[in-house]
Structure 1
Amino acid sequence: MRLVLQSTLLPILAMALLLGACKQATQKANQSTVKTTAPASSEPWWKEAVVYQIYPRSFKDSNGDGVGDLQGIISKLDYVKSLGIDMVWLNPIYASPNKDNGYDISDYQNIMKEFGTMQDFDALLKGFHDREIKVFMDLVVNHCSSEHAWFKSARSSRNSPYYKYFHWWPAEKGKPPYRWSIFDEKGDAWEYNKATNSYYLHYFADAQPDLNWENPQLRQEIYKMMRFWLDKGIDGFRLDAIAFCSKDTTWQPLPAEYNGQWGMYYASGPHLHDYMQEMNREVLSKYNVATVAEAMGDVERVMKFVAPERKELNMAYYFEAIDFGYLPNEYKMPDPKGYDFVAWKKIYAKWTEAFAQKGWGTIYLANHDQPRMLTRWGNDTPEFRDASSKLLSTFILSMRGTAFYYYGDEIGMSNIKFDKVEDYNDIELLTNYAQVKAKGGDLKRFLEGMKISSRDNGRTPMQWDDSDNGGFGAGKPWLKVNPNYTSVNVAAQEKDPNSVLNYFRKMVQLRKKERALIYGDFKLVDAENPSIFAYTRSLEGRTILVLLNFKAVEAKVNTEGLDLSKAKVLLGNYPNSKATNQLKPYEALVLSL
């Protein structure tokens, strides 16, 4: 689940941030260098990790029921190891009725039946650890499932010991103050419960009641659950929607200062960072693990999660770049004119500079909340599929921050682009489709936009080979397999030394070899170039130049001040790559100067 600033929220925020930040960045981008200190030998392991995200439902089905499972992942452990990655992030595998594909948890200490058993999980964890691969778990604790034992008890009576584990508004006080809901067709985050004659709060779907973090007893339950998994030996948590956990329980109307941005208001709870510091103090500091916050907002807000002296979390995602290029006031509708590439580059430069000064960031282009990176940021036509897939891998693995890479992107999987709403599974899309329909909106236009931006585009089954269902499993898959599996699959690419898959492996190894790609200073080169993303990474006298042509035509980059005459090609995505400032369509060059 994403921290949704989409629809009317995200575009407004993104443009507001952009107007201020990019104006300043434009003035200094060509000269600006992001200065970093040389790495100490004691740098934590998670800074150098390459994280591979597995969406369990879609990775490998071992028993033919159409749903990926833990035994399926176990059968592919050696493949995952062959990628050269350091850590796997598993989307939720806890018991769940699957209203939101596992982000509605009914039992935090059991495994979803479709996925297997706790014994399967133990075997999976051991399998990864035996291969020196660490494991991230998704921690979903802003809300749980309405099928969780806590909530089933709480909704039965106000006298339930679990009633105060959730947020309620008694009906005798009248209708509760309006709160926006992300996954509710009515857009209302309060749901009436007859047995208690009160309304419960749900920022997401009505089947996902928000947990009451203001209750110390609830927080201790969460910390106890976290220790359960950490004692099993997992290596960290990705904290889903964590910025929403603290609530303003005065329930005042949306303050004018938020300008209609409910998401930013939700991420500004009065005790958010008190809770993060308590979690660190009571749980995280006791283990050698890593954490990444699904944070939101501008640099100042996000930095509060990761500034070392605050003792909260280790890393943070930021959404400004990944959610760039959508039309304002519309749910994830891509701008038909495209996006401002120069402004997009400067967003990355801004955040890279911020994390160079304090804390630690992440770099990613796709995950379960995003479409496929090839379709969204590259070119999924047969002519340019391979080149642009390799280019995007080069980008992720040459930028500063812990690299997060999504399953299937290593073979260049692309959006499936469904024509009918019936083919979609995602609660987010179905909710917004219903809202467009209720308003008499243009449903055909909506579905065309979703071919680019829908989350289900990034959730189709892994394409292992050219057999039925792409080798995913014998049964009918829970979500259709992209028809291009006959040509885009792991088996075919394993045989081709120049494949997208083998290029990804080479780029992972290059990142591990060249510490400048992890810790080096970052300097944007030719910042105003409308086609090429170019930058240097420098550390202890070594400089690496990365040149990336994001367009389908040849383009030239201004490398004034950089001597390419003796440059060595470390990696390129075209055969016989040469050190040059004239790049072919979607050409990627990594040069040692």
Structure 2
Amino acid sequence: MAVEPTALADANAAATAQGENAQHAASVATPWWRGAVIYQIYPRSFLDSDGNGVGDLPGILARLDYIASLGVDAIWIAPFFKSPMADFGYDIADYHAVDPLFGTLHDFDRLLAAAHARGLRVMIDQVLSHTSIEHAWFRESRRSRDNPKADWYVWADAKPDGTPPNNWLSIFGGPAWTWEPRRQQYYLHNFLDAQPDLNFHNPAVRAAALDNVRFWLDRGVDGVRLDAINFCFHDALLRDNPPKPAHARTGRGFSADNPYAFQYHWYNNTQPENLAFLEQLRALLERYPGTAALGEIASEDSLATMAEYTQPGRLHMGYSFELLTEEFSARHVRETVSTLEAGLRAGWPCWAISNHDVARVATRWGGANPSSAQITQMSVLALCLRGSICVYQGEELGLPEAEVPFEALRDPYGIAFWPNFKGRDGCRTPMPWDDSDKAGFTKGAPWLPLPLAHRKLAVAVQERDAQSPLQRFRAFVAWRKRQPALRGGAIRLLDLPEPLLGFVRSAGGDEILALFNLDSDPRSVALPAGAWRTLAHAGPDAGRIDRNTAHLPAFGVLFARGA
């Protein structure tokens, strides 16, 4: 029987009060990062304060009120350290210095204090597995085979015929080894040749990496996002990676034209020695109460590695790329979550559906012209999975992937693989703050072009529309905060036919049913056993309950509480 509007309002009011009381009680014992919404900022594309066309730390500071208005719990700032920018900051030349392009160390301290004043936690990127070729450590290491830093990077002799020591490949294409004439040896780089890999088998390297993290913990950061954390160790025997059959050559941005997909990467990353280092890292963080580590994990079995890396005493949480691929279906989401849950045990997941490395989700999952309801549904779905969630800047606006012409490309990955793979610039274009020519991002020439389609979806435009993706995102995050079951509860996945996805989140005796219709046509489905009453929410078009059946509109969502 359908619930009458008055009764529904009363029930919702009571449930809200109950949820808020439970949330207050839980917050006393629950760490801030469990169930947190973490807003990822790519600083060079967020806001330019000095007119040079590149975003900076003062630009982030100027928009903290906007970020706080989204209701998120924390910000994660991509690298802003001193760097020659071969990979736009993921090639660090000095871990303790802010690159002048982004500002000063004083600017960071002001940003940190201002964020804390608004109740926002601050996480920063730490790139531990490799440095820039311009780092002082590498400049010394490459000079000779007997200097104090000689063993700080991964060096190996050539084979008798002069070729690299093994068959390892770089993610960015070609061999993962580059010849260094000063030492008459090859050095390893899992990414660009300008990003040499550190030798984590050397205890001095591990100690130095921890010192770099400690520097920022001492300044007051609340956590670290660990880039490519499973790449710290390599196989000490330098064994060849085995070949991968053609049907299995899939992965993050990999296609048949990237030879990286031709191998099982069993030996160039994800080595067992890394677990002990993660425990050292966790021990360091434990000395700074309230801090957390989020690991980026991309391995041959990322879900298994994610479960392993987030066990007690290791990382607080981790995320992988399973929901950052082009595959999107109820089955894929259900299988990804259920596989992770089966192995996770005491670990804690984090989910992301967009970031600075992949095409924007509005295009990747929604196609050429996703509806507003579909865009909102994507965010709502991610926000309802068990775990924490990273939201990439512009995701709350429903920005589509930008088309960047070849002559404007900056990403070396895209330049190398054009036109089959266009790289990462399409998700890195500047944040549109208004609908002016330069979108309120800069007074100069932006480092990447600003698409007209993005200006039409600018923050200022969407603030004026109560039903915009931005307004719905903001409202749903606020609603989610009042539901302890969604923020930190257990998850039970339902076996539903495509294109329906459903699960029950539960905490402290409270159960919330979440149903998603991923199709452009309305769908109906039988409710799971039990008595359910619909919940008003701030997501996309809501479904309704008629007796024991849920009716969902196109791209609709239904939430119901167990009676």
- Provide closer, same or farther for how the CA distance between residues 572 and 212 of structure 1 changes in structure 2, counting only shifts above 3 A: closer
Q: 1:345 maps to which residue?
A: 334
**Does 1:360 pair with 2:348?**
yes
Quick one: which amino acid aligns to residue 457 of structure 2?
V
Bigger mean CA deviation after superposition, 197-206 or 268-277? 268-277
Work out whether residues 135 and 236 of structure 1, in 8 Å CA contact, stay in contact via their aligned partners in 2: yes
What are the equivalent positions in structure 2 for 1:165-314 lying under 5 Å apart?
Answer: 165-171=152-158, 174-185=162-173, 187-255=174-242, 261-281=263-283, 283-288=284-289, 289-295=291-297, 296=299, 297-308=301-312, 311-314=313-316
| 1:471-503 deviation line (CA, Å, top 9, x unaligned) | 111111111112113320111111222221111
Q: Output the CA distance in 2 between the equivalents of 1:142 and 1:459.
A: 23
Cα 1:410–1:257 shift into 2, 3 Å: closer
**How far, CA to CA, are the matches of 1:516 and 1:126 in structure 2?**
31
- How big is each residue's C-alpha offset from its partner over 1:306-332, in whole Å with a ceiling of 9 and x where there is no partner? 111xx111101122343363xxxxxxx
Q: How does 1:520-539 map to 2 (within 5 A)?
A: 520-525=489-494, 527-539=495-507
> How many residues matched?
516
- Provide the C-alpha distance between the structure 1 equivalents of 2:527 and 2:425, rounded to a whole number of angstroms: 40
Provide the rounded CA distance (Å) in 2 between the counterparts of 1:394 and 1:353. 23
CA deviations on 1:78-120 (whole Å, 9 max, x unpaired) are 1111111111000011011111111000111101111111111
Offset of residue 253 of structure 1: 2.1
Query: Paired residue for 1:317?
Result: 319
Check conservation: 1:374, 1:385, Cα contact below 8 A.
no
Corresponding position of 1:478: 447
- Native 8 Å contact 2:282 2:314 kept in 1: yes
Name the structure, 1 or 2, with higher relative contact order (CA <8 Å, separation 6+).
1
Counterpart in the other structure of 1:42? 29
AA matched with 2:202: N
SS at match of 2:438: helix
Q: CA RMSD in A?
A: 2.4
Aligned match of 1:72: 59
Work out which of the residue numbers 139, 147, 153 in structure 1 matches 2:126: 139
Residue deviations 1:450-483 (CA, integer Å, cap 9, x gap): 4xxx432221110111112211111111111121
* Aligned residue type for 1:479: L
Q: Any conservation in 2 of the 1:568–1:579 contact (CA below 8 Å)? A: no
Per-residue deviation, 1:157: 2.5
Asked if 2 retains the 8 angstrom alpha-carbon contact of 1:368 and 1:458, the reply is yes
CA distance in 1 between partners of 2:116 and 2:415 (Å)? 38
**Structure 1 residues 371 and 264 mapped into 2: Cα distance closer, same or farther (>3 Å)?**
farther
Contact 1:324 1:344 in 2 (8 A): no
Whether 1:117 and 2:101 are equivalent positions in the alignment is no
The 3 A distance-change label for structure 1 pair 171 and 239 is: same
Partner secondary structure for residue 51 of structure 2? coil
Partner of 1:5: none
Q: Residue 100 and residue 568 in structure 1: after superposition, are their counterparts in 2 closer, same or farther (change >3 A)?
A: same
Q: Give secondary structure in 2 for the equivalent of 1:266.
A: coil
Q: Deviations over 1:434-456 (max 9, x none)?
A: xxxxxxxxx4xx25xx4xxx432
User: What displacement does 1:380 show?
Assistant: 5.0
Identify, as 1 or 2, the structure richer in helix.
1
Could you report, residue by residue, the CA deviation over 1:519-562 in whole angstroms, capped at 9, with x for unpaired residues? 3232223x342122222212233222222222222222332535
* Letter of the 2:424 counterpart: R
TM-aligned CA deviation for residue 40 of structure 1: 8.6
Distance 1:172 1:592 in 2: 65
2-structure distance, mates of 1:557, 1:537 = 18
Whole-Å Cα distance in 1 between the matches of residues 374 and 368 of structure 2? Answer: 8
Counterparts of residues 349-428 of structure 1 (less than 5 Å): 349-355=338-344, 357-379=345-367, 381=369, 384-418=370-404, 420-428=405-413
Structure 2, gaps ≥5 residues long: 1-24, 249-261
TM-score, scaled to structure 2? 0.86
Counterpart of 2:460, as a letter, is A
CA deviations 1:7-33 (Å, max 9, x no partner) are xxxxxxxxxxxxxxxxxxxxxxxxxxx
TM-score (norm 1): 0.82
* Cα distance in 2, alignment partners of residues 121 and 360 from structure 1: 29
Matched, 1:568 2:557: no
SS at match of 2:76: strand
Please give the residue correspondences for 1:503-522 in structure 2 after superposition, counting only pairs within 5 Å. Answer: 503-522=472-491
How far apart, CA to CA, are the structure 2 residues paired with 1:553 and 1:396?
A: 21
**Which residue identity lines up with residue 556 of structure 1 in the other structure?**
S
Q: Which position in structure 2 is the counterpart of 1:331?
A: none
Partner of 1:29: none
Higher alpha-carbon deviation: 291-300 or 208-217: 291-300
Worse-superposed segment, 76-85 or 370-379: 370-379
1:591 aligns with 2:557: no
Q: Counterpart of 1:428 in structure 2: which amino acid?
A: Y
What secondary structure sits across from 1:229 in the alignment? helix
Identical aligned residues as a percent = 36
1:431 aligns with 2:419: no
Which residue identity is paired with 2:309? F
Q: Which runs of 4+ in 1 moved over 4 A?
A: 38-41, 171-174, 255-260, 576-580
The 2-side partners of 1:499 and 1:304 are apart by 40
In structure 2, the residue corresponding to 1:345 is in which secondary structure?
helix
The answer to whether the 8 A contact 1:180-1:262 is kept is: no
Distance (Å, rounded) in 2 between the aligned partners of 1:139 and 1:529? 42
**For residues 40 and 476 of structure 1, do their structure 2 counterparts lie closer, same or farther at Cα, with a shift above 3 Å needed?**
closer
Question: Which deviates further from its counterpart, 167-176 or 54-63?
Answer: 167-176
Is contact 1:138–1:240 with CA below 8 Å preserved after alignment?
A: yes
SS at match of 2:439: helix
Match of 2:137 among 136, 150, 160: 150
* Cα distance in 2 between the residues matched to 1:562 and 1:470: 50
Uncovered stretches (5+) of structure 1, i.e. residues with no partner: 1-37, 326-338, 434-442
- The 1:320–1:261 alpha-carbon spacing in structure 2 relative to 1, beyond 3 Å, is farther
